[in-house]
Amino acid sequence: MAVMDMLASVTKVISKSDAHGGAVLSLLHDRTTNLTGCGQLQEVMLFLTQSAAVPYMDMLTKWLKRGIINDPYHEVMLLVTGVCVCVCVCVFS
């Protein structure tokens, strides 16, 4: 039951904050690190965090390695103006 309560709590926080992309990853990361020593709860949060990070990191990798900017949901906050790309990336604290 504790796992379901935790999932409901995380879902509520993400929904209320209207978080997307890096903000969701930061929220999941914070919850994961706060569950140190909680066994199964931490394992579930770690799985969610790692799974949620895959598409985000794929997008960043394509941009950094190939110069391909594919950010349809504006999660990385890239601003392309002429030859300049300005970046604001949410990072884990």
User: Could you state, in order of their start, the residue ranges of all structural domains in the chain?
Assistant: 2-87
pLDDT for 82: 59
Task: Say if residues 42 and 32 touch (Cβ distance below 8 Å).
Answer: yes
Query: How far is the C-alpha of 88 from the C-alpha of 35, rounded, in Å?
Result: 28
pLDDT along the chain (93 residues), means of 10: 89 90 88 84 92 87 83 66 56 46
pLDDT for 81: 62
Give the per-residue SS3 of the chain: CHHHHHHHHHHHHHHHHCCCCHHHHHHHHHHHHHCCCCCHHHHHHHHHHHHHHHHHHHHHHHHHHHCCCCCCCCCCCEEEECCEEEECCCCCC
pLDDT for 64: 83
